[in-house]
Structure 1
Amino acid sequence: MSLPTLPPELVDNIILYVAPADLVAVSHTCSSLCPVAQRLLYRHIAISPWSRNINVVATLAKRPDLAHFVRSFSITTAADPSLFSAFYRLLADALSGMTEVISLNLLVDSGASWILEKSGRNITYHRLEQFNCSFPLDFTVAEFLGKTPALLQLEVDSMPCVPSRPIPSLPATTIPRLAHFIGSARAARAIVPGRPLQSIHLNEGDLGEEDLASLAQANADVLVLGATASTPPVPLLESIARHLPHLAYLRIMTTYHFTQAPEVGFMDQVANALAALPDLTAFELSGMHWGSSKRGDDGSKRVWQSSPLGNTFNRSEDITTDSDIFLQY
């Protein structure tokens, strides 16, 4: 029995183990094997200057039947000055054909969000779960997000931008399943309220009371928070405890109190503030890792050590760094 005459599911399982270079040869073997090989060849695509495969964008733009096979697509071109608007038009066409994509990473010119315009008009990316981009949260990106009902993870507006640029409001029906967000504090104020966010990482902006009040409007318990701040750590931790009482992991980057030796009692004040977060198991303050232990099984509060972790501290209760919750960072 020849390979093309086997049941389709067996052919798929056999060709699944063929090396990418050999898949090209398989696609030219016969007409019945070509679609199977192409489906695997274009399933996962990572484009970068060092990979020398940027021509695949033109192929996908001209062949929407191949773009339909794409399940994960990643492109990095931000540092390549040789790319002109003609290339981005091809990229826009390619994206409009990836209607079955699950993971999409666009690390390109931050001013080229217009490549999403064609995709955001009459197309729904009903399977897209993860979207990372170098774009600000502008009206084009907001329209695109309205076409991603299954989105779980989002990174947007991570690059410093002009403060006067307006952030569009998002309808309540947009990205209703979003659980993980990475981006600026100003974008978080538009994205987090009313959505089931569990982990939030703010990599641009100064965390303050207004931001915390906005994050508290998530309709799920926020478990992970990473942010930068310039305010005194102790009052900030007290505000965090009021607004986000269910945090399990907290990372704060600040220069306050670290340009010189901390005041006497500073470590104890931080430890007391952390005690107001009953579910917190791991904390990092500007690179200093803290840990905790329970007094007993009577439900009493955790006791936080008032200095950076040492070799003698038992970290068995801490969140492990290889857990799913850390993969967002």
Structure 2
Amino acid sequence: MDSLPTEIVLVVLELLPKTSLCTASTLNRSFHRLSRPLLYKSIHIDRLDAFIQCCRTLICSPDAAACVLELELLLDPVVDVFSAFRRLITNALKNLHSLKSLHIGWDAPLLSILDGCTFPNLTNLSSVLQLYPDPEPMRSFLIRHPLVKYVCISGEHSNLSLHQGNLAEGVDDLPHRANHHPLAPAGAFHLPAGALPNLASFTGSRLFAPIFIPGRPVNNVSLAWKASDGFTGSSMLHIVSALANSSKPVESITCYGTDWPMGLVLSLPYACTSLKELKLVKCKGPQEGEHFSDDYERLNFAFDIVLRHLPSLTTLEMPRIPSISSPMSEDLEKASLDSWRRYECGLESVVFPSGAQWQRPSKMGGEWRRLGP
């Protein structure tokens, strides 16, 4: 093994599971030196006792802490236990000078553990936190990390809400609405204009879109919402306004939910003139008493408008509607594709409500091929 180049040994070590990597690190000093960065490169913890032990190791071995690039904490902690180890945890986190990706999942009363923690190289932040009763620790944390490019945040502040407004006012004045902060009441989660200047991708609750997107170079957006809290009225208008006021054209939008936001779809040609990818996933089908033909007409109407005004669109995924997978035949799907040719759009991939995917080899030409199911 001593005759093997270090590069080859590293390739082999990177393929090993962590249990085998631990064994390899005990073989000799050379293997220990090469294995150590790989052992601590990515840490995933879902038990509090394991987290406490890990913190002790990171404090006692600063060189090991310097190897950590990704940290994922999915814990259901006991507040009293966390409080008892607060200083230990904070000191351990402060040693992670090389950290690039952080995923945290514990309740907001414990977010204060992040106070004073700054990760100079952090670019990815993912959080499943509930931002109550005090969102300030998360707000301060985001402000301290200007290099963050990717944010996934799903927890909602209990005071987070949207002002009521009249959707009939239209979208022509969207740029003027950007300066009107949509959140109320005072004390709700917010960010100053200069925070997260490099943010390129936002994934999270629709209520956070007006906070994270406007004025930042966000070109990739994924939104989620609850069945009882969908895209309606002024809430949809604020989301469209946020999309229109990203400092960089939004090129990809994905919506996750139990209904499909027709109002949002119809507004996209006004808000996202350079959109390349639109996906509506995990959506429910027609309600009881509704018919497939009605739902199909609504789909065709909405996407006809989108494709007519968005020639940049290359990927389209329609809402998945299992209840209409059988009536929407292959011929019907092909007819839709043929009808869209008249718009000279650059579509290359389409997924229909049945789940069937169609592709064509090149923009503005080539025959559509059905890939399944």
TM-score tier after normalising by the smaller chain length: 0.7 to 0.9
Q: Equivalents in 2 of 1:299, 1:270: separation in Å? A: 14
Letter matched to residue 99 of structure 2: V
Match of 2:100 in 1: 102
Which of 197, 208, 220 does residue 176 from structure 1 map onto?
197
Alignment of 1:317-328 (within 5 A): none
Render the CA deviation track for 1:279-329: whole Å, top value 9, x for unaligned: 232132255798974779997246999973575x7323699xxxxxxxxxx
Q: Alignment partner for residue 140 of structure 2, among 135, 140, 143?
A: 143
Is residue 90 from structure 1 mapped to residue 123 from structure 2 by the alignment? no
Structure 1 residue aligned with 2:358, among 305, 308, 314? 314
Measured after TM superposition, the shift of residue 22 of structure 1 is 2.2
**What does residue 312 of structure 2 align with?**
279
C-alpha distance 51-136 of structure 1, shift in aligned 2 (>3 A): closer
3-state SS, counterpart of residue 73 of structure 2: strand
Q: 1:146 offset after TM fit, Å?
A: 2.6
180-189 or 97-106: bigger deviation: 180-189
**Is 2:268 aligned against 1:240?**
yes
* TM-score (ref. length: structure 2): 0.66
Amino acid of the residue matched to residue 268 of structure 2?
A: I
Confirm or deny: 8 A CA contact 2:123 2:148 kept in the other structure.
yes
Moved more, 163-172 or 301-310: 301-310
Q: Secondary structure at the match of 2:209?
A: helix
Task: Work out the CA distance in 1 between the residues paired with 2:248 and 2:224.
Answer: 21
**Partner secondary structure for residue 55 of structure 1:** helix
In the alignment, the residues of structure 1 paired with residue 258 and residue 10 of structure 2 have an alpha-carbon distance, to the nearest angstrom, of 55
Report SS of the residue matched to 2:122: coil
In the alignment, the residues of structure 2 paired with residue 302 and residue 227 of structure 1 have an alpha-carbon distance, to the nearest angstrom, of 21
Query: Alignment partner for residue 290 of structure 2, among 248, 258, 261?
Result: 261
Alignment of 1:153-192 (within 5 A): 153-156=150-153, 158-163=154-159, 166-172=188-194, 174-192=195-213
Give the Å deviation of 1:109. Answer: 2.8
Q: Distance in 2 between matches of 1:88 and 1:61?
A: 13
CA contact (8 A) 1:206 1:228 kept: no
Shift of 1:169: 2.4
Q: CA deviation at 1:100?
A: 0.8
Q: Tell me the equivalent position of 2:215.
A: 194
Quick one: structure 1 residues 87 and 12, their matched pair in 2 at CA, closer, same or farther if it must change by over 3 Å?
Answer: farther
Compared with structure 1, are the counterparts of its residues 15 and 268 closer, same or farther at alpha carbon in structure 2 (3 Å cutoff)? closer
Paired residue secondary structure (2:23): helix
Identity of aligned residues (%): 19
Query: Does the Cα contact within 8 Å between 1:72 and 1:103 map onto a contact in 2?
Result: yes
**Structure 1: segments with no counterpart, 5+ residues:** 320-329
Task: Call closer, same or farther: CA 1:99–1:302 in 2, change over 3 Å.
Answer: closer
Q: Distance in 1 between matches of 2:142 and 2:306?
A: 36
2 CA distance for matches of 1:143 and 1:317?
48
Distance 1:159 1:298 in 2: 43
Answer with 108-117 or 253-262: which moved more.
Answer: 253-262
Measure the CA separation in 2 of the matches of 1:176 and 1:98.
23
Deviation at 1:117, TM superposition (A): 0.6
- Structure 2, unmatched stretches of 5+, are 14-19, 161-186, 326-332, 364-373
Q: Cα RMSD between the aligned structures?
A: 4.1
Contact 1:294 1:302 in 2 (8 A): no
Distance in 2, Cα, partners of 1:266 & 1:297: 19
Tell me the SS of whatever aligns to 1:154.
Answer: strand
Counterpart Cα distance in 1 of 2:76 and 2:146: 28
SS of the aligned residue for 1:271 comes to helix
Deviation by residue 1:21-69 (Cα, 9 ceiling, x = unmatched): 224425xx55x87655433332221212399576212321444443222
Tell me, in whole angstroms, the C-alpha distance in 2 between the residues paired with 1:70 and 1:129. 14
Who is 2:149 aligned against? 152
1:55 aligns with 2:53: yes
Distance 1:201 1:78, change over 3 A: farther
